[in-house]
Amino acid sequence: MTLRVRPADPGDADAIADLEQVALPLDAWSQALVEEGVGGRLPTTQYFVAEQGLLLAGYAVVSVVQDVAELQRIATAPAARRTGVATALLAAVDAHAAAGGAARLLLEVREDNGGALAFYTGAGFAELARRPGYYRDGTDAVVLERSVRMDP
Ligand SMILES: CC(C)(COP(=O)(O)OP(=O)(O)OC[C@H]1O[C@@H](n2cnc3c(N)ncnc32)[C@H](O)[C@@H]1OP(=O)(O)O)[C@@H](O)C(=O)NCCC(=O)NCCS
């Protein structure tokens, strides 16, 4: 089925909050926070959704402040993984970051999240730093970085 990536709107909040619980259960954002973001009330933050038909296949959240973009979230519905959904979302994030004037794209990932680390490494990210005990359960964060791709 065709994959379509578009900016999120308030009608996407429920599906994003549901997937947040499934994909990032140790660190899930609240429904209220998601509603604030998709409602455009966080000035530097943009949500994107990937749709297959009417279903939410994934979403990504990026904030852009001057020359630095931060990938705050990226997640794919379990049934849609390894089909290029996150790759398509990351291309939209790069395009948004480039349009906003960012040169660097940073993110944090749990050091025990092997799947995400493999995805990011394959997408060209490299380790910049570690944040010991960053997550609620004491797990370290790995900070990854790469240049924003102007023509992803
Ligand atoms: C990490 C995640 C976003 C990847 O999404 P995805 O849509 O499956 O990724 P893609 O299909 O675009 O993968 C592209 C490539 O990345 C690599 N990759 C992706 N997931 C991988 C995994 N679990 N293990 C190893 N490599 C992986 C592969 O090289 C893959 O290409 P291939 O399928 O042709 O081998 C997804 O597994 C997810 O939602 N995980 C839970 C949420 C999460 O951890 N988010 C990141 C928080 S920092």
Ligand 1: distance of its center to the CA of 122 in Å?
Answer: 9
145 within domain boundaries = no
Residue nearest to atom 24 of ligand 1 (CA): 115
13 within domain boundaries = yes
Enumerate long-range contacts of 45-48, CB under 8 Å, 24 or more apart: 45/72, 46/7, 46/96, 47/7, 47/8, 47/12, 47/16, 48/5, 48/6, 48/7, 48/8, 48/89, 48/92, 48/93, 48/96
7 within domain boundaries = yes
Spatial separation of the C-alpha atoms in residues 4 and 32, rounded to whole Å: 25
Ligand 1: distance of its center to the CA of 112 in Å?
Answer: 14
The pocket around ligand 1, CB under 6 angstroms, is made up of 23-24, 58, 74-76, 81-87, 109, 113, 115-116, 118-119, 122
97 within domain boundaries = yes
Residue 82, CA distances (Å) to 79, 113, 119 in order: 9, 15, 10
pLDDT tens column, 61-88: 999 999 999 999 999 999 999 999 999 9
135 within domain boundaries = no
Domain count, the chain: 1
| Res 134: pLDDT | 95
Substitution candidate for ligand 1 out of 73, 82, 85 with most atoms within 8 A of CB = 82
Q: Are strands 55-65 and 45-52 parallel, antiparallel or unpaired?
A: antiparallel
CATH number at residue 86: 3.40.630.30
141 within domain boundaries = no
pLDDT tens column, 5-33: 999 999 999 999 999 999 999 889 999 99
Residue nearest to atom 22 of ligand 1 (CA): 115
- Structural domain including 77 reads 3-106
| Res 27: pLDDT | 87
